DNA sequence: GACAAAATCAGAACGAGTCTAGTTTTGCAA
DNA sequence: TTGCAAAACTAGACTCGTTCTGATTTTGTC
């Protein structure tokens, strides 16, 4: 496995990471050039000079995962946003700020990110996958909310809130003014869960 | 097209409907016997004595659609539930009652439905498709909500509510006490949209 | 240098879904 | 009744994502 800040990644891990990166890079390049649906995994594997089987060994979640972060990474940032929120900020405000700073809601992103976000936004398969990955964080976010609310186990109410929160970016992205829709949604959620 | 209460469906329409029904029946039977994932569309087509191409001509939305109603039908019942709600009942209460009487939340269903609901509930692909079909009703439900709220066009707020409402059955079905979770969700939504 | 684990490989196989090009059935009208 | 166009249906080839098999190479370690 790739050592996250361990003694020093050996040659094996470096090569593995390089292969993975080559696949991700090739995928992004081809998707941007020709559109997600017009690129086959075979072409991506060839561009990265690997076998198709290797591609799926690195990205078992499939073609979409080649350019989208998994729930692990997302959950990390989400956790940080909640746990390290400024003193006096409500959980829901922190979550609102977290999403407002991300992909589709922040216009001040470096071009490198921008093109990627636009690609996802205009590709239904990718957007659906992104939503799924967020929603997969529901149980963990519910735990986080329980922690913030000072209870041991998340109950129905917190699971419902977690789901609504994670559903919101998807929903808001379909509206003409994405940022306004996001704000509107969080305003209502704060009414429904006044203590969070 | 199948005439819905027109003069009298001719032979052609009757045969077409029969083929469609044969496909749906064969699919349900095989899914129940061996599980959704262990049945191929080829087997279904053979059991219904049709070609695979015919199967997809009748169900272009794919394998899942063989046993799940499309948004058209769902929307009809949803519309009725909202428009014909008893005097003095809020829209959200009507929607709550509507879902509480359906599939996963009502234990008093005839066996014929019960087995189907259980199949959907225990098959991720089917459950995901069912959610999608509900969520596809979002724009229409937002219109309905606008109508009930006495405004011309649904704004962000109503689209958000529509989405949360349609997301709720899926969400609640994953909780240990589905009915309780459904009620909990609607209770919060009523706080967030007190006028509906 | 030997050996096991991990990474990679080519290619076959599978299932969903699309496409093509042709055949049969049906409704309708001359 | 016949003629004809539209609709329904068909077999089979094809694409694409994904999995499987079984082998080969690369790497870390002893």
Kindly list the distances between the CA atom of residue A81 and the CA atoms of A74, A145, A191, A196, in Å, as whole numbers in the listed order: 11, 12, 21, 14
B175 contact to strand C (CB, 7 A limit)? no
How much is the mean pLDDT over chain B?
93
Q: Enumerate the nucleotides of strand D whose atoms come under 7 Å of any protein CB.
A: 7-13, 15-22, 26-29
Q: In Å, how far is A122's CA from the nearest CA of chain B?
A: 18
The CA–C1' separation of A78 and D20, in angstroms, is 37
Q: Which structure tokens are listed for B88?
A: 């003095």
The CA–C1' separation of B53 and C21, in angstroms, is 13
Architecture of domain B73-192: Orthogonal Bundle (1.10)
B11 contact to strand C (CB, 7 A limit)? yes
pLDDT at A103: 87
3-class SS at A149?
A: helix
pLDDT value at B6 more than 60: no
The closest CB to that of A167, out of B163, B172, B189, belongs to: B163
pLDDT value at B9 more than 80: no
B34 contact to strand C (CB, 7 A limit)? no
Q: What is the CA radius of gyration of chain B?
A: 19
Does any CB of chain B come closer than 8 Å to the CB of residue A136?
A: no
pLDDT at A10: 76
pLDDT at A82: 96
- Residue for token pair 């929307």: B75
DSSP state, residue B105:
G
Q: Which residue places its CA closest to the C1' of nucleotide C19?
A: B53
The closest CB to that of B156, out of A160, A175, A194, belongs to: A175
**Percent of chain A scored above 70 by pLDDT?**
96
pLDDT at B8: 60
Q: In Å, how far is B92's CA from the nearest CA of chain A?
A: 14
Cβ pair A157:B188 closer than 8 A: yes
How much is the mean pLDDT over chain A?
94
pLDDT value at B5 more than 70: no
Footprint of strand D on the protein (CB under 7 A): A 10-13, 15, 39-42, 52-53, 56, 60, 62-64; B 12, 15-16, 19, 49-54, 57-58
Angle, nearest 10°, between helix axes A156-173 and A124-135? 160
**For residues B147 and B29, what is the distance between their CA atoms, to the nearest angstrom?**
41
Mean pLDDT, range B167-171, rounded to an integer: 97
The closest CB to that of A192, out of B163, B180, B189, belongs to: B189
- Predicted structure pTM score: 0.92
**Tens of pLDDT, residues A112-134:** 999 999 999 999 999 999 999 99
* Nucleotide with the nearest C1' to A39 CA: D16
> Among all residues of chain A, which has the CA nearest to that of B193?
A188
Q: Enumerate the nucleotides of strand C whose atoms come under 7 Å of any protein CB.
A: 6-12, 14-21, 25-28
User: In this structure, are residues B95 and B134 in contact, taking their beta carbons and an 8 Å threshold?
Assistant: no
C-alpha B73 chain-centroid distance: 7
Mean pLDDT, range A7-30, rounded to an integer: 88
User: In this structure, are residues A149 and A87 in contact, taking their beta carbons and an 8 Å threshold?
Assistant: no
pLDDT value at B3 more than 90: no
Handedness of CA B94, B100, B102, B107 (dihedral sign): negative
Would you place residue B142 in the very low, low, confident or very high pLDDT band (cuts 50, 70, 90)? very high
Q: Which residue places its CA closest to the C1' of nucleotide D20?
A: A53
Domain assignments of chain A as residue spans, ordered by start: 11-67, 73-192
Mean pLDDT, range B156-171, rounded to an integer: 98
User: In this structure, are residues B163 and A167 in contact, taking their beta carbons and an 8 Å threshold?
Assistant: yes
Cβ neighbours of A157 in B, within 8 Å: 184, 188
pLDDT value at A12 more than 90: no
Would you place residue A3 in the very low, low, confident or very high pLDDT band (cuts 50, 70, 90)? very low
Does any CB of chain A come closer than 8 Å to the CB of residue B143?
A: no
Cβ pair B164:A167 closer than 8 A: yes
Would you place residue B16 in the very low, low, confident or very high pLDDT band (cuts 50, 70, 90)? very high
Kindly list the distances between the CA atom of residue A50 and the CA atoms of A40, A56, A57, B112, in Å, as whole numbers in the listed order: 14, 11, 11, 51
Mean pLDDT, range A87-99, rounded to an integer: 96
A50 contact to strand C (CB, 7 A limit)? yes
* CATH T-level fold of B11-67: Arc Repressor Mutant, subunit A (1.10.10)
The CA–C1' separation of A40 and C7, in angstroms, is 23
pLDDT value at A21 more than 60: yes
């Amino acid at each position: 496995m790739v050592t996250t800040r361990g003694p020093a990644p050996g040659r094996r891990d470096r090569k593995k990471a390089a292969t993975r990166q080559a696949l991700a890079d090739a995928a992004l390049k081809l998707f941007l050039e020709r559109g997600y649906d017009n690129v086959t995994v075979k072409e991506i594997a060839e561009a990265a000079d690997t076998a198709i089987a290797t591609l799926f060994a690195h990205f078992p979640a499939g073609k979409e995962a080649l350019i989208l972060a998994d729930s692990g990474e997302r959950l990390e940032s989400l956790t940080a946003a909640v746990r390290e929120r400024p003193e006096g900020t409500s959980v829901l405000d922190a979550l609102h700020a977290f999403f407002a700073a991300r992909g589709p809601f922040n216009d001040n992103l470096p071009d490198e990110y921008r093109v990627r976000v636009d690609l996802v936004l205009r590709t239904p398969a990718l957007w659906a996958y992104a939503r799924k990955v967020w929603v997969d964080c529901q149980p963990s976010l519910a735990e986080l909310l329980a922690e913030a609310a000072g209870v041991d186990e998340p109950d129905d109410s917190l699971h419902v809130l977690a789901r609504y929160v994670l559903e919101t970016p998807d929903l808001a992205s379909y509206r003409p003014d994405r940022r306004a829709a996001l704000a509107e949604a969080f305003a209502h959620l704060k009414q429904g869960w006044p203590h969070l």
